[in-house]
Amino acid sequence: MSDPIIRLENVGVAFNAQLRVGSPRFWALEDVSLSLAPGDRLGVVGRNGSGKSTLLRTIAGIITPDRGRLKRAPVSCQLLSLALGFVPHLSGRDNAVLSGLMLGLRRREIMQRLPAILEFSELGDFFDQPISSYSTGMTMRLGFSVAMQVEPDVLLIDEVLAVGDTEFQQKSGSALRERIHSGKTIVFVSHDDEQIQQVCNRALWIEHGRSMMQGPVEAVLAAYHAAPSPSSPPPAGS
């Protein structure tokens, strides 16, 4: 196995609960350890509020850990963010450029990819209209088409695998799966076991901000489902 490109050792992240002087902090991540090797497709499972999204943003480098150690090789990590920085009064074209710049692309690169964005988003003449005239589905199509132009070394996905209406869901889903299986390193947060099984080669289970288990997908999912839910009693008869 190659050296890990990202390694978390007993990482904890605390947030301010309220905007008040002396307000207590709560630990969204208590103690998480994981390691990610190039080409890994790591699925993160856990119940609501277990810290999955915080973990993704910590890996992305947006959040700095308050304790523990985070080691990252010089790689780019990017959250798959749709409609990042979109401005309602601007055209789809201008928003594509703006969003692409925020996602770290050079202007020249985005300009070259505008035809691909226009084609994939299927916006036609609407591409030059302000996005305030778009439906939610159209905005998502544009957002997804721009997000797919960014090719970070490590792609971080929070639940979203497909967007838009049924037809575009298939198209966006298959584009993203193609990306995922092209040898990219992925961290994928999901509630959906089936998606984790399809996408990932390893899994991490976190509970109340603690990493419980990391390993093969089937084994982790089995352990996760076998554990009693800490916040609610097990269903009768189980």
Cα 209 to Cα 28, 111, 177: the distances in Å are: 6, 41, 28
Min dist. Cβ of residue 54 to other proteins (A): 10
State which amino acid sits at residue 116.
A
In angstroms, give the least distance from the CB of 98 to other proteins.
5
Q: Which is nearer to other proteins, 27 or 212 (CB)?
A: 27
State the nearest-atom distance from the C-beta of 104 to other proteins, in Å: 7
Find the shortest distance in angstroms from Cβ 63 to other proteins: 5
Please give the structure tokens belonging to residue 186: 């992925």
Binding region for other proteins (CB under 8 A)? 13-19, 57, 60-64, 78-79, 81, 84-85, 87-90, 94, 97-98, 101-107, 130
Q: Closer CB to other proteins, residue 60 or residue 223?
A: 60
d(CA 196, CA 184): 16
Beta-strand relationship, 202-207 and 210-215: antiparallel
Instruction: Work out how close the CB of 85 gets to other proteins at its nearest, in angstroms, rounded to a whole number.
Output: 6
**Residue 65 or 173 with smaller CB distance to other proteins:** 65
With respect to other proteins, which residue has the nearer C-beta, 38 or 65? Answer: 65
User: In the chain, what's the furthest Cα-to-Cα distance?
Assistant: 61
Cβ closest to other proteins, residue 91 vs residue 169:
91
> Which residue, 12, 10, 47, 8, is CA-closest to 27?
12
* Closest separation in Å from C-beta 201 to other proteins: 26
Residue 63 or 176 with smaller CB distance to other proteins: 63
